[in-house]
Structure 1
Amino acid sequence: MSSPPPPSQRSFRPRRFIKGPDNQAHNAKVAELRAQIDVISKQIDKAVVGSAIVEERKTLTEELKGLMKEQAAMKEQRQAVNNQLKSVEAEVKRKVKEIESVFSKNSFKSVGAIDKRISEIDEQVESGALKLVDEKRLIKEQQSLFKLRKDFSSVEAQQKSIDSDKAKIDELKKKLSGIRNDAVHKRFEEVQKKLDALRSSNDGIQTKRNALFSQRQALHDQIKALRAAHDAEFKKFKADIELEQKKREEEEASYKAEKEKSDLVEKIAKLEQEATLPAFTKEIDSIHGLLGFFDPSYVKPQLSILPAETFVSKSNIRVVNPDTEFVVLKKERESFFVGTGGKKTKSKKNKAKFTVEPVIIAQLADLNVALPTSQEQVPATIEALKTKLAELEANQDAETKKNSDKVKAKIADLEAKVAALSVKPEATEKAPESTPEAAEVAEATEA
């Protein structure tokens, strides 16, 4: 598997400088406009009407309100009389219609005419010259006349009521003509003319005040527009900051992923190298080295296939507490076995000195082989090393296959992780939406 360039050699995109809105210039413009507003406000306060004129206008306005109330009261009175007059006139019309309906049913126009006809019938009946049929007819007519005479009596009472209602109508009309607001209306017009004259004299002042109000409102609108533009600029600045930050985070995430991918590829390469090595290579090579150390006549059967480095593992050195019969030398290497001195040393105690380097002790400990504490124990150590060597070589093929399967499984897992890291996230296309925040936060982000 080919390795990508190391992430450490990657150069990041230069960070883009994003300039924020000029708060100082914005505040200066707003302050200048506010100063102009203060000047105009003072001019408005000075452009006022005199107190005497204001007081006169107030008095006339109050009088005008009172006159309007009087007019309203008179209007209500006239309305009430008119309503009463209409009611009486309607009642007269109804009564007249009732009388007319009575007269429309017969030819008699008065009670006297009815009485005269009744007398005529009496005379004809009393004469005895009438036939029985005619007499019955006249008697029946006479009975109808008696009933009609009674109805005519009620008509006379109705007529009296009508005459009374007509008199009441005349009285109401007279009362209505008395409710007039001519004087009030005349005074109302006089007060209105005075107010119009005062208003006309103050038109110049009011015109000036209206112009000043318009100027002040225009300045307020300018401040509003400045703030809206400043907010929009700040919003864009904030969005650019967030976009730049997001791009930086994406670059850092990409760098981290590439670094992780590079480490995994390197680890895979090492595992692939390990998979080609036979099992127990290091232990066997170590045993060959120890056999050559303890037995100078020993010849290795083949060259070591381990990387060119010392046969002693320096990464796992152990400290062994030796017996009191030998001394461990740490700085200089001496011969494995040192004999007694010459004749000049015969006076000293004649005793063999047995020494072993710390790396040898650690190597034997790694192989679980007993450490010789004297020259007499060296053959046993050599025999133990050969036995260990034969045991490892016998199991080497089976262990090699087992280790190879484990390494291949690890490599497959690591390659899957590398493939997952190779999928690049979608690039940032647009800035996220943002709302204006405090200027201090934006300045801190820019810094």
Structure 2
Amino acid sequence: MLQGKRILLVIGGGIAAYKSLDLIRRLRERGAAVTPVLTRAGAEFVTPLSVAALAGADVHQDLFDLTQEAEMGHIQLSRVADLVVVAPATADLMAKMAQGRADDLASTLLLATDTPVLIAPAMNVRMWDHPATQRNLATLVSDGVHVTGPNEGGMACGEYGPGRMAEPLEIVAAIEARLAAGPLAGRRIVVTSGPTHEPIDPVRYIANRSSGAQGTAIARALAGQGAEVVFVTGPATIPPPEGVEVVRVETARQMREAVLSALPADAMIAAAAVADWRVAEESASKIKKTKGGLPTLTFSENPDILAEISQMGDGRPSLVVGFAAETDDVEAHATAKRARKGCDWILANDVSPATGIMGGSENAVTLITEDGAESWPRMSKDQVAMQLAARIAQALDAV
């Protein structure tokens, strides 16, 4: 159930922090990727080296890490996980969360996140029973934070009562329960991806440099959030993700038919790089090179899938998202495209050769909505996909 899931684990400062090491192991053996965040107090109980070794990933500790924060690292950390887990969640961490304080990396990313949060409280029984902690707990629950534990039992301080952190397997079960449905459960989303190939003759075609990497990452992220995904893909170089319905096409006209057949849907994400034109008359046999000169190709315009879906009446998805791959005046061209097509959002990116984005592993996008433009930092295409999936879940919840 946790295969491929991404868990951001915040380890607070308490004796129960030793259990977080076993929690990491349990999560990883189930296929989850764990990104650890260790508070300064947490590092008094478990070492960064032991956490990193078990997680197989760097440990994040310092809000003012110049390497990370040059790219707003705390924002990226808070947005790319399927679930944020705080274990142990100390009385201090719970107070910071309830009050919206942000004075270290852990509290800052918890305030900045739009990802679901699960906490496993751990503290002395008197601290747990204190009215201030109970007020903070009530605030967190009303804010949508999920809680597992604490258990009742003997404590390191010698006292007995509620306050023991839930056992690692109990936390794993709570994580699985939280991720089983996902924020997009019950939502049907169509994603187009990859290039289209427009034939000239039986051996030649018109294409573009799209690898399908971004569309594939988006489909994977949406499926990971519980959505039923119909993945309509052209002949991409990237294999399709698991857990989605794959519809393979070659041409723009085939892609249009596949998209229309996949409706109705709650959302459509048009990430494919659809060819604008096709050869008007495809040759039934290979065009031969002759001494008489170059062949003449006459072009026809391909169907505009994004505009057609955006402007349809009954049956239009609640959210239609397009992409604008530009080489200059990116924001201006993308804003005009959104107005022209009639879609809700446009993700614009600069695909000029110097960026390395077309066919590469990273992307730098600007989200264009009716409210204006929002530039995202350059990040991996998987991170872009996770951030977009979270925004889609928020938008569909509001519908």
Higher relative contact order (CA 8 A, sep 6+): 1
Q: TM-score, normalised by structure 1?
A: 0.17
The structure with the greater share of residues assigned to helix is 1
**Structure whose alpha-carbon radius of gyration is higher:** 1
Q: TM-score, normalised by structure 2?
A: 0.19
The structure with the greater share of residues assigned to strand is 2
